[in-house]
Structure formats: C-alpha cells, structure tokens
Amino acid sequence: MKAALHQPARRRFALSGLALGATVLAARGAQAADAPAAPARASGPIVLHGVSPRLTVHALDTFHGAPATGLRIDFSAFDGEDYALLRSFTVNANGRSDEPLLIGDSYRPGRYQLLLHVDEYFAARKAVLPTPAFLTRLPVRFQVVNAGERIHLPIQFGPWAYTYSRGS
Amino acid sequence: MAGITTHVLDVRTGRPIGGMQVELFDLATTPPTRLHATRTNPDGRTDVPMLAAQAARTGRFELRFHVNAHFKAPDALAEEVPVQFGVFDAAQHYHIPLLCSPWFFSTYRGS
C-alpha cells in the first residue's frame, strides 16, 4: 500500500527535530507523541485526527504575527497545460478557508496552485513597501499524490519571505 | 554587486544541494521569457549569477526550482517551486535562497 510505504519517511522527518524554528514542526512533534508508534496499515482511506481525507490550508502573516484574515487566494488545478481557476476565496478570522478546499469526490490526485494576493493584503494594512514589492502575487504550487491521505498546507508569509510545508 | 543569485540547501541534512535545475524567467512577457537555466554546483550555488550585474533591471522575475527532480520522493509535496519576486532597484543585489525538503519549502530575500 503506497500510503503505508511512504509514511515512515515522513514520520522520520517529523521526529528528526531539525531546528527549523517552524511552529508547524513543533505542532507535528507534539501530535506524534499521541500517534501509534507503527506506521498506519489501513487498507481504506487514512483518517488522521478524526477527519476524512481532504485539502485544507492555513495562512499566517509573520509580519503582524496574526492569521492572514482577508487575504484573497485563487485556487487552481493544473489541467495539463495551465493552472485553471477552481475558485477564489478569502481567508477567514482563523487564517483558514471556511470549508476544505477539496473533500470527498473533489479531493483527487493532481497538481494545484494557490495564488496569494499578498500585494493587496499588505496594502490594505498600510505596510510601507517598495514598488514593485518583493512579493506581489505569491504562487504556492503543490500536488496531491494519494487521495487517501489528507493534506494540510500551512503557509507563513511576510513581505520578504515565505514558507510552506506539509502539515497535519 | 547587483543581479540575482540563489543558494539551495537541504534542511534534512543541513547541506547544500548540488545538481538541482534552476531557471530564471522574466515575467514582463506572456508567456514568461526564460533568461537563464543551469544546475546548482556542489556548494548549492550557481557558477555564474542567475542574472548578471550588467543585465540587472527592475521588474518581476521568477526563479523556478525543480525540487523533486532532485529529491525523487514519490509523495513529495511539490514537483517544482516557482518563486516570483519584484526587483524595485536594479542597483541592489537580490540573493534568493531556497531551503527545502520534499515537504518543506522556504525562501526569503537574503544578502
């Protein structure tokens, strides 16, 4: 089973304790303590933390130390030639989308893109930045390989830096 | 020194990544114009700048890192990482590193 085979590598990465300073990794380490020691061997979809497979996102503004409430994001899927818009949404008070981006039948393997409109986001917060700013429309490209495993995608960004990773 | 340079590091090992394909595009045109394509050297840098000081100009550019052609992880979070950024002062140096693993990508304006 593909998912089971790949789990150990991710688990090792999670527990390796690399000093990345990312809260993402700290959170993952904390959860790993509660997880079974052996890799999951389920034959059906793997339910992590009590939820079915889905794609979720969490956007944090490291400039203000706050969830990126109000950030506009265009969510697209790669159609073989280009990234075609699925829908646009605005990040809620929690730094998330109100609903999972993909869930159930819509959660399929493929390549996707989140385009973050960080230029208008920081302009609305009266941040003083050069023109053109270093980051304007920020593309986060990623893929879903196994629709049996959920993907949580935390994104941390400021005017001069960003990080994204596979969360949980 | 003006121009655009990069540096690719593997956060799993704490070491530079050599041999990763990196491209630079000018985003002023549709489709974007590829200005340079190369591979990182054993130090994780490129032998010549991605954009030479003499060619430096303002505008929007993309550094595209072909991360999973290097990692070859079957469950990688991304195949490639496009870093799109603006240059507002052509006299300044833009150093844009990528710290990465198959499931983690981080970039910033460095020096």
| Complex-level ipTM | 0.96
Task: Looking at the complex, report in whole angstroms how far the Cα of residue B84 sits from the nearest Cα belonging to chain A.
Answer: 7
Task: Looking at the complex, report in whole angstroms how far the Cα of residue B105 sits from the nearest Cα belonging to chain A.
Answer: 5
The answer to whether B67 touches B76, Cβ cutoff 8 Å, is yes
pLDDT at A37: 56
Distance (Å, rounded) from C-alpha B100 to C-alpha B81? Answer: 10
Low-confidence residues in chain A, pLDDT < 50: 1-36, 40
Question: What are B46-102's pLDDT values in tens digits?
Answer: 999 999 999 999 999 999 999 999 999 999 999 999 999 999 999 999 999 999 999
Nearest CA to B63 among B22, B99, B106? B22
Mutation target to probe the B interface, by most B beta carbons within 10 A, among A55, A116, A142, A168 is A142
Put simply, the answer to whether A135 touches B85 (Cβ < 8 Å) is yes
Nearest CA to A154 among A89, A95, A75? A95
The pTM for the full model equals 0.83
Nearest to B86 among A13, A133, A141 (CB): A133
Put simply, the answer to whether A133 touches B88 (Cβ < 8 Å) is yes
Taken in order A135, B95, B87, B38, is the CA torsion positive or negative?
negative
Nearest to A162 among B11, B76, B107 (CB): B107
Does residue B15 sit at the A interface (CB-CB below 8 Å)? no
Put simply, the answer to whether A165 touches B103 (Cβ < 8 Å) is yes
Nearest residue of A to residue B31, measured between CA atoms: A82
